[in-house]
Amino acid sequence: MADKSKVAESKKLIQFPRLWFFLTSLRFVFTIIGQRGYIHPDEFFQGLEIVSANIFNSSALIYEPWEFKLTDQNKPIRNILIPYFFYGLPLYLARFLADTGLIRLKSSLMILYPRLFMCVSSLLVDYSLAQIADLCDFDKSSVIVAFASSYITMVYLTHTFSNSIETILFALLVYYCIRSIKSQYILNEKFLFKSAESKASEKKRRPRSWKLLNDSNLMAYFNGANAQMRTEEDEEEEEKRMLVLASPKKNKNNDNKVKRICLFDIYKFSCHGNVIGLITAIGVFNRPTFIIFALVPLAYWLLYGLDNCNSLRQALSFLRRRLFKLAQLAVPFAALAVLADTVYYNGITDLVGIFLFKTTPTRHELIVTPFNFFAYNSNSSNVNQHGHHPFYQHALVNCFLLFGLNHLLLMFISFNFVYVLIAEQREATRSTINMKTMLISLYTNIINNTYLYFLLSFLVPLLVFSLVSHQEPRFLLPLLVPMLVLTSHCLFGSLRYSLLSKAWIVFNLACFLVYGQAHQGGVVPSINYVQKLFVHDSNAMMDQHVLYFHTYMAPRGLAVSPFVDLPWREH
C-alpha cells in the first residue's frame, strides 16, 4: 500500500496541463529559430561577450565593460564563475563540435547555444512553481500556464541576462523554503499517542494553517494558504501519509497506540537548510541584489517556530542552529567564488605554483565582487550616471510593463487583505494589555499565513528597489514568481475573469512581438552579415569599419570570436 501511495503521489506531481506543454514547446521553438529583439546591452556585455572572448581567444578585439575591469581606480563587480557555468558550458560545447567538424561555427550559433541553455534552465521555474502550488494548495494548472504564457518567460528568461538567472534562483529559493517548512513534523504527544476511541471523539473540522515548528521536535504538518476547512477525509489522508513516512511501533501496553518517529525528516531539514544557503550564495554572487529578494523567504525560514522558545538563550540557540545550516554550503561556495574571481582578475595562470610558493603573482589583490558592487552603488553619483528615475517608477510604470493588469489586481487584493489582517489584529489585542502577548500574536498571524508570505515576497523587494534612483524593469523579473502564485487563479483558474484572461493574452502577445522581435531587431541579425564581411577573402587586406547609428552597441565579440586563428574559418 505504501508503494502504491508513493506512485500515486509521484504521478500527481508530474501532471501538467496540455496547454502548458504547448506553450513550453513554443518557448523552445522561438528560442531555436531565433528572436531578433535586442532588449538591453547587458544581455551581452554582462557575461556572454566576456566569456565568449575568453573561450575563443579574442579578448583584445572586444569591448570590455567596466564591470569586468580591475584597475587602480576600478574594482570589478561581476563574478566570473556563474557566467562561465550558464554561458561558458554551451560555448565550450559549440567549440568542441566545431573542432570535431560536426558544425560550422557562426555568430548565430554562438547566440543560440547559450540561449538554448537558458531556455532549458527556465524549466526549473516551471518545476518550482508547480511544487509550490502543490505544497500550498494553490491551483497548479493556472500557475504554470500563466507562467508559460508570460512574455517574460518567452523573452527575458531565454536571453542571457543575469536577471534571468536571478529569477531562476529566486524561484528555487522560495520553493525550498516552503518545502523545508513542510518537511518538519511536530512530535505532538496528544496526536501521536492516541487510541482509537480518543481519535473518534476528536474528529472535528478545523481551519487549515501552518503549524508551529520546533527544531527539537522535527515532525510536522503544513497546510495551505486559503481559509478552507480541514475535513475528516483530510485528517485520514494525513494519517496515512504519516504512516508511510514512519515505522509504527506498539508501546509496552499494546493498546493500539502508535508511536511514529520520522528521523528521516531531520535529515531532510538539514539538507534543505544547506540547499537554501547554497542557492542564496549563488544568487548573491550572480547579482548581489539577490539578497533583497531573499529577505522574506529567509526570514520566514529562520524565524518559523521561534515562539516555541521559552527564553532568550533558547531563541539564540534556535537561530544559531539554523544559521549554521545555511552556512554549511554557502561559505564553501563563497570561498570558491572569491578564489575564482581573484585568480581571473589578477591574471594568475600558475595557481599551483603560488600555493607551493614557487611563483609570485604580479597582482595579488583579493577580489570580492559583492562587496565591490555595494561599495560602488553606495555612492549616489555612481548610480546616477546610469540614469535617474523617480521613486514611483517601479510601482507605477515598470510593474505594468512586466505584469500588465495583474499588477493592479494584486494591489487591489493586497490592500483588502492587509485591511482585514489589521482589523483582526486589533480585535485580538483589545483583550490584552500585555505587550509580549501582543507581539507573539502579531508574529503568529504573520508567520503562519502563507498568503502573506508571498505578498511580502513581492512588496518588500519592490519597496527596497523603489528607494534606489536607477530603476529598470528587468530588475524586478524575480517578482514574477509571487505575482503569478497570487493572481493566476483569476486568469486560468476556476475563479477566472474573462476580461482579465483576454487582457493577459493580448498584453503578453504584444510585448512578445515588441521585445522579442521588433525592439532593436536589426542589430543581432546584422552580426552574421558583418561577420561575412570580416572574413571574406576579398576584404582580407582591407581595413573594415562598421557603423551602427541610433542602435544599442553591437556585441562585436560574437562577430569576430569564431574566426580568430581557428581552423574552421568560413569563406
Q: What is the pLDDT along the chain (571 residues), one digit of tens a residue?
A: 445 554 444 445 457 788 999 999 999 999 998 888 899 989 998 888 889 888 888 777 778 888 888 876 778 899 999 999 999 999 999 888 888 888 888 888 888 999 999 999 999 999 999 999 988 888 889 999 999 999 999 999 999 999 999 999 999 999 999 988 877 643 333 333 333 344 444 444 333 334 333 333 333 333 333 334 344 455 455 444 444 443 334 444 444 333 333 444 444 556 888 999 999 999 999 999 999 999 999 999 988 877 777 778 888 888 888 899 899 999 999 999 999 998 888 877 655 555 545 555 666 778 899 999 998 888 888 887 888 888 999 999 999 999 999 999 898 888 887 777 777 767 666 665 566 666 777 777 777 788 888 999 999 999 999 998 889 999 999 999 999 999 998 888 777 788 889 999 999 999 999 999 998 888 888 887 777 776 665 555 666 777 888 888 888 877 765 555 443 343 3
Q: Which of 161, 123, 400, 191 is nearest to 286 (CA)?
A: 161
Report DSSP letters for 454-520, one per residue. HHHHHHHHHHHHHTSS---GGGGGGGHHHHHHHHGGGTTSTT--HHHHHHHHHHHHHHIIIIIIITT
Q: What is the rounded distance in angstroms from the CA atom of residue 159 to the CA atom of residue 43?
A: 7
Q: Which three cell numbers, joined as nine digits, stand for 334?
A: 563563497
SS3 call for 259: strand
Task: Convert 487-499 to b/e letters by CB count within 10 Å (16 or more is b).
Answer: bbbbbbbeebeee
User: Alpha carbon 571 to chain centroid distance?
Assistant: 43
Computed from CA positions of residues 499, 505, 506, 507, in that sequence, does the dihedral angle turn out positive or negative?
A: positive
User: Alpha carbon 218 to chain centroid distance?
Assistant: 27
Q: What is the rounded distance in angstroms from the CA atom of residue 61 to the CA atom of residue 556?
A: 8
Quick check: 517 and 38 in contact, CB under 8 A? Answer: no
Q: Which three cell numbers, joined as nine digits, stand for 506?
A: 493580448
Q: What is the rounded distance in angstroms from the CA atom of residue 500 to the CA atom of residue 212?
A: 37
Contacts of 542 (CB under 8 A, 6+ apart): none
* Burial category of 503 from C-beta neighbours within 10 Å (exposed 0-12, middle 13-18, buried 19 and up): middle
Q: Which of 132, 129, 137 is nearest to 225 (CA)?
A: 137
